[in-house]
Amino acid sequence: MRIELRDMHKHYGSIKANNGINLTVEEGTIHGILGENGAGKSTLMKVLAGYIPKTGGEIIIDDKIQDYHTPADASRRGIGMLYQEPLDYPPLTVLENFMIGQAGGVSNKTLRFREKLEDLIRHFNFTIDPDVRVKQLTVGERQQLEMLRLLSLGIEVLILDEPTTGISDLQKEALFNSLRRLASEGKSVILVSHKLKDSEALCDRVTVLREGEVTGSMEKPYDANELLSMMFGEPPLPSTRSPVEYGGTVLSMKNISGLGERTGLSRCTIDVREGEMIGLAGLEGSGQGVFLRIAAGITKPTDGSLSFFGEDMSGKNLHAFKKAGVVFLPASRLEEGLMPDLSIQEHFALKEGGSSFFVKWDEARSESREKTEKFRVKGTPDTIAEALSGGNQQRLMLSLLSKESTLLLLEQPTRGLDVESTNWVWWHLSKYCLRKTAVIFSSTDLDEIMSIADRILVFFDGTIIKDVKRDKTDTKELAKAIAGKV
C-alpha cells in the first residue's frame, strides 16, 4: 500500500505542531521519520493512525483520498500504529490483550485466538507466553505483542513511534529483523525516531521534520552530518570529558540483596569513589533499578550492609540518605520524579522545605527564573511539569538538585531525549564529577555507556557479573557479559 500525505496541518490553538507536511511512503519500504523531540513526528503519525483529528490536509491511500476519524477506521484501511506509550492492559494476560478489539459476541473464543496468536509468535520466532500477564513482560516484548496484534488485524502499513526507547540491543536487533521481514513481505513500515543510528541501520528512506515542517529527505546511503543539520539546523557538539582525580570512598556495599523488578538483586559488593562516573549496563530489568533504589535508600535491602563515607546506613530511613547527599533521579520522570500538575515555580518552592509558615513566592519565582534560564528549560515559572517535553522535564529535575550532592543516582537519564538534550545532560553531569560527586547511571544504550562512563558494571539476572574500567574493555566483551557470558 502506498501512503501519501498532502499539506498536512495539525494546530493546537496558535501552536502549529504540523505545518504543511508532504510525505510519500512507498509499498514494501521502511520509511524513517527523523527529528528531535517536539518536531511534530508523533503528532503526524497519530493523525495518520486516526488517533487525533487533523486540522487540514489530505491522506491518500493507493491514489484515493481517504477521510477517517478513529483508529478503528484507520486499521480497517490497513494502517496500524505502535504508540510510544504502550496502549495495552498490563494487569490482563497476553492472550486477553491480543483479543481485545478483535473478539466480539458472548461466546468464548479463547481457543481460536490462542491458536492464532501462537502461530504468529512462531512465525516471528518470538518467545512470549500467552498466559502471563502483560505487566510481567519487558517493554520489548510488549511491543512484539502489540505488533502481532496489529498484523492479525490485516495491517498493511505499520507505524512505530520511538520503538527502540527502553529496549535492549538484543531486543532491538530482533525488532529490526522482524521489520525487515515485514517489508520484504510487501508491507510498509514507518519508523518514527530521534535516533540517527537506528534510522540509518533500518530505513530505506528518511524524511526529517523540524518544528512541524519537512526540512529534507534522503535515501540510502546517508550522510550523517547532513541529516543532523536537517534535524538541528547545525550539528550539536559531541560530549567530551576531561579526566578526573578520584577521591575517597563514597558508597560501599557488601553482599547486598534486595527485591524488585523481575530478578531482584543478589549479593552485590562494590565500592564507589568520589568523582567516579559509573555506567550500569545490562538488559532492562536485570537488577539495575533495584541497585539504584537500594543505594538511594528507597528500597530496603533484605540482606547485606551498606555504608556512606564509612558510616553504616542499615536501618536508616530515606531522610538519612538524603542528608548524606544521595540523590536519585528515576526513569519515569512524571510518575516518580516530578509533580505533574505543579508548576516549575512550585517545584522550587517545595524544594525550600517548610521552615517558614508562608511560601516565599518571590524567592521561588526568582530562583525558578534563574534556574530555567541556566538549565535552558523551555518554560515559564508558571508552566506545569506535565506540559514540558521529556528533555525539559529532565533539565528541570537536574536544576532542582543541590550542588552539595555526594552521590547522584540516575536511572536511564537520557531515555527519550534527543541528541542535543542528551549531550547537554552529560555535559552537566560531568561538572558534578569535577566537584568530586560520584555519578552512577543506568542506560540501555551500550555505546552511550562506553562513551560516558569511567567504570562499567554489567548486570545479569540480578547480579553484577562484570565490574570493569572503560579503558580495559570493549563493546564486544560487554555485549557478551550482558547476555550472561563472562
Partner 1 sequence: MTGFDLTILLGGVVAGAAPILLATLGETITEKAGIINLSLDGTIMLSAMTAFVVAFNTESLIAGFVSAAVVGALVAAVVGIFSIYLEQSQVAVGFVLTLMARDLAYFLGNPYTRVPGPSVGPQPIPFLKDIPFLGEVFFNHSLPVYLSLLLIGLIWWYMYRTPQGLRLRSVGENPGACFARGINPRSLQMIYVLCGGFFVGLAGATFSLCTKPGWGRPQGAEGTGWIALALVIFGGWHPIRAAIGAYLFAFLQVMGIYFQEWFPSVPAQVFQVAPFPLMIFTLVFINFAQKESVIKHAEGRVWLKVVLRLFSGAMPTALGKPHKTGQ
Give me the residues that bind partner 1 (CB under 8 A), please.
12, 49, 51-52, 70-72, 75, 81, 83, 87-92, 96, 99-101, 103-109, 259-260, 302
For 14, other C-beta atoms within 10 Å of its C-beta total: 5
Distances in whole angstroms, Cα of residue 214 to Cα of each of 112, 223, 231, 241, 374? 45, 17, 10, 34, 31
Closer residue to partner 1 (CB): 81 or 121: 81
- From CA 397, how far away is CA 367, in angstroms rounded? 14
- Shortest spacing between CB 23 and partner 1, in angstroms: 21
Residue type at 249? T
Closer residue to partner 1 (CB): 108 or 127: 108
- From CA 439, how far away is CA 410, in angstroms rounded? 8
Closer residue to partner 1 (CB): 96 or 367: 96
- Shortest spacing between CB 428 and partner 1, in angstroms: 32
Closer residue to partner 1 (CB): 244 or 259: 259
- Shortest spacing between CB 258 and partner 1, in angstroms: 10
- The full DSSP string for 128-191 is --TTSBGGGS-HHHHHHHHHHHHHHTT-SEEEEESTTTT--HHHHHHHHHHHHHHHHTT-EEEE
- Shortest spacing between CB 18 and partner 1, in angstroms: 13
Helices 475-482 and 169-184 sit at what angle, rounded to 10 degrees? 90
Residue 71, preceding peptide bond in cis (omega within 30° of 0):
no
Closer residue to partner 1 (CB): 81 or 449: 81
Closer residue to partner 1 (CB): 302 or 332: 302
- Shortest spacing between CB 304 and partner 1, in angstroms: 16
- Shortest spacing between CB 88 and partner 1, in angstroms: 6
For residue 70, give the nearest of 48, 95, 97 by alpha carbon.
48
- Shortest spacing between CB 405 and partner 1, in angstroms: 29
The set of cell numbers assigned to 469 is 574500567
How far is C-alpha 480 from the geometric centre of its chain's CA atoms? Answer: 23
